[in-house]
Structure 1
């Protein structure tokens, strides 16, 4: 079980919830490589995003679409307060106000570039995706994290719940293998419930080994990240499942304004359209 210990007190950074460059976990970029920034313009204000060089496929794809004007006049079509704001669906450009959005794409996906050092703090820019085993990203849809602040106990419980779900999934996948299913079916057909039970129980150590191999750092925690989730906030439940490829440098207050807009209950679409224009800086 993961244990989250309270970090050793450190000198407080000024305005940690706004000036993100003071946070210790900040990713260090090579001086030899330019850092690309983009500007997201909305009627609620402007957001400046920095794209990570550590996720080149997502960075380059986003830059390509921005250059093409792909995002101009698209909507932030899914907005959930204390969670995130999502946009980039090409179907949103000329959509009717009653239309349900979120399924539009550009005909391709981007291979996952999930990096443990790039996490879902408030202001993180990440790629949306459908449910696929490779965790490949949508070619165009993205979200910006608003999230909320968490206590140590809440973070510890969340980590444990996530790992429990992962272990159950590994065990389920093991059960679904043809050889295992054939063995279980044969034992059940024999009518010997005790032998069947013992065989199923014997699968647990194998599942534990597979879990450890698949998630070698599942019980490890980054104390700097824990501190950020306590002070700045975010959505730690998404870590490891979606590619984070940038962060907000200015405009966190704009995210808060958009996230608080009234939405339709059925799909979290804002009742009033929130259009964007994105340009390179």
Structure 2
């Protein structure tokens, strides 16, 4: 074999090696305001596997992932395209802006929810945000779950609670004055403050930390009319439409302070409501929570 042949053989080997190298490239689109969902389009070539690093501590091996950023900031997204031992990396910076509303990311083993806190109930809003920032709720349980009614949590005594332990009496040592608002009603997904009932709490002051999220039952026009005649509440068209569409617990209106609402993840409420419970309505398998401010 002459030198020319050897030269061309080497070129062919180099070309063959280069042809097997993966090419990493991607594009994206979506909402750049937290908790924005970004749809990533994988444009890699000659790759068999993929590893995405979203720059916020999470990764994915999906080919075309949809990722939600739960905080604002600049995130360097990396796509590693692999083919055997060969790999190529592409990167792009994505800027996520802070939301205008007060939003909470509530994470459970059964899925995630995004909750909007209402400005119309400032005392409850500010207290809840303070507790979230202090990680007060992290690793607490949804300790009382009633299908067709609500899911309740926020008792600090539920952290690492033994099976069968009596829960629902704990709190931060203070209560909050009621902030009733006729426009904020107990439709499915409503976030409301638990409280002590009966004559010991005539002002209907709220627990400092315990809350519930409405699961609810179907609501009819007739049942709303009955509630109006019994309580004096006058439901507007918006409240009626939402009750008829989503269901809820209108019997609780103006008895417990509604201070927020689940705006994403209503299906997670369904999942939690359907878990197996013991005789005290506590889930047999613990449903833990983690709450973070979306900012």
Q: TM-score range by the shorter chain?
A: 0.5 to 0.7
**In structure 2, C-alpha distance between the alignment counterparts of 1:44 and 1:150, rounded to whole Å:** 26
How far does the alpha carbon of each residue in 1:146-169 deviate from its partner, in whole angstroms, 9 at most, with x for none?
A: 102212223223444x44xxxxxx
In the alignment, the residues of structure 1 paired with residue 233 and residue 268 of structure 2 have an alpha-carbon distance, to the nearest angstrom, of 35
Partner residue in 2 for 1:268? 281
User: What is the rounded CA distance, in whole Å, between the counterparts of 1:221 and 1:48 in structure 2?
Assistant: 26
Residues 116-150 of structure 1 show CA distances to partners (whole Å, capped at 9, x for unaligned) of 11111111011000021111100000001110221
- Shift in CA distance, 152/49, structure 1 to aligned 2, threshold 3 Å: same
- Partner secondary structure for residue 66 of structure 1: helix
1:116 and 2:182 aligned: yes
Tell me the TM-score normalised to structure 1 length.
Answer: 0.66
How many Å separate the matches in 2 of 1:244 and 1:219?
15
Tell me the distance in 2 between the aligned counterparts of 1:220 and 1:115.
11
Answering whether residue 223 of structure 2 is matched by residue 154 of structure 1, we say: yes
* Selected match of 2:170 from 66, 85, 104: 104
Q: How does 1:244-259 map to 2 (within 5 A)?
A: 244-259=258-273
Higher helix share: 1
**Which of 174, 195, 202 lines up with 1:133 in the alignment?**
202
Distance 2:150 2:284 in 1: 16
TM-align CA RMSD: 1.4
Distance in 2 (CA, whole Å) between partners of 1:153 and 1:238 is 17
How many pairs does the alignment contain?
193
Give the Cα–Cα distance (whole angstroms) in 2 for the partners of residues 221 and 123 of structure 1: 18
Mapped partners of 1:116, 1:260: distance in 2: 30
Which residue of structure 2 lines up, in the alignment, with residue 62 of structure 1? 128
The corresponding residue for 1:43 is 109
Instruction: Give the corresponding residue for 1:220.
Output: 234
CA distance in 2, matches of 1:279, 1:244: 20
Provide, for residues 29-80 of structure 1, a one-character-per-residue CA deviation record: whole Å limited to 9, x for no partner. Answer: xxxx942101011010001001111111111101111111100000000000
Further displaced range: 86-95 or 33-42: 33-42
Unaligned runs of 5+ in 2: 1-98
For the pair shown, the structure with the greater C-alpha radius of gyration is: 2
Classify the secondary structure of the residue corresponding to 1:246: strand
Checking the alignment, whether the CA contact within 8 Å between 2:138 and 2:290 is kept in structure 1 is yes
Question: Is the partner of 1:156 in helix, strand or coil?
Answer: helix
Q: Secondary structure at the match of 1:47?
A: strand
Higher RCO (Cα < 8 Å, 6 or more apart): 1
Give how far 1:219 is off: 5.7
Q: Which has the higher strand share?
A: 2
Residue matched to 2:291? 278
Alignment of 1:232 with 2:246, yes or no, is yes
